[in-house]
Amino acid sequence: MAITCEGADLSRRVLITGGSGFVGLHLCAQLRREGLEPVVFDRCAPRMPDAPEWIEGDVLDAAALSKAMGDVGGVFHLASILSVETTEKRPRDTLDVAILGTRNVCLAARPDQRIVLSSTSEVYGDAPTVPTDESAPVSPKGVYGMAKLACEQYVRTLPNFTVLRYFSVYGPGQAPGFVIPRFTRQAVAGEPITVYGDGEQIRAFCHVADIARGSVAAYRCAAAAGATYNIGNPAEPVTMNDLARLVIAEAASTSCITHITFEKSDRTAKREIYRRIPDITAARNDLGYAPRKNLKGGLDDVIRSLKE
């Protein structure tokens, strides 16, 4: 476990709660590329060859978190419980980690520290307007979206916060329960690809490298203080049926597509969000954010990583 060096330049040091997770690892790499020094605060050590500084800790431990935050210039607050199945089965844990963890971040924050909260498009629920911009009404349908909405309200009490609502993140190293890792794993194995419901749900997926670039851009932009941004890629909305076909093609797979009812999946029809596409005009204008990775190239990244 690494702790701060005396005389360190705090303006370059950035804490990432939950930094050993999927987005956190890509964020660490992006911060380093931009000359910043990521410090991971997590219960697990970072799983990467050239690991960043790591402080073992839990966001529910207010004292440990406060100590870690005292030695950095800003914080990316990513720590949370993820996946529909896990959050719906463990609602209390999901709410505690999100809400109490965010409260602890807010209590420890200095006025000069930029706190960037990782939120989610799930706060919109089934948005009445698609693509959806940040002014849309919020109406989450599940525990995770509700927890993140509460976190957003907490950080709004700070003088120097930014909220980032991520849309449908994917990429190499994502947990197997998410849709693209699941589809690619099934395709590479030649197994039937299981699509929930009628498969006409629409998503606009965003590669994790673009998520990381957008996140760092928000952190470095002084004008982003006090603002909320959608971070995603609206360029290629796709139904789950078409996504499955694309994965089969990119993996050169013999898999077929099979549909299963929501009752046999990890969610219910009532919990499902049917259209999720971001309007990223604000992030383009304020942050210069522009996603670079198209869906085909991103799927190739995931398939290659899985085969390796």
In the chain, what are the domain boundaries? Answer: 13-168+207-232+278-291
pTM across the whole model: 0.93
Q: Which fold has domain 13-168+207-232+278-291?
A: Rossmann fold (3.40.50)
Task: Specify burial of residue 171 (Cβ count, 10 A radius: 0-12, 13-18, 19+).
Answer: buried
What is the Cα–Cα distance from 213 to 182, expressed in whole angstroms? 25
Digitized pLDDT (tens) for each residue of the chain, 308 residues in all: 333 333 345 679 999 999 999 999 999 999 999 999 999 999 988 887 777 899 999 999 999 999 999 999 999 999 998 777 777 788 888 899 999 999 999 999 999 999 999 999 999 999 999 999 999 999 999 899 999 999 999 999 999 999 999 999 999 999 988 999 999 999 999 999 999 999 999 999 999 999 999 999 999 999 999 999 999 999 999 999 999 999 999 999 999 999 998 777 666 667 678 999 999 999 999 999 999 999 999 999 999 999 88
| Helix ranges restricted to H, 141-275 | 143-155, 179-189, 208-220, 240-250
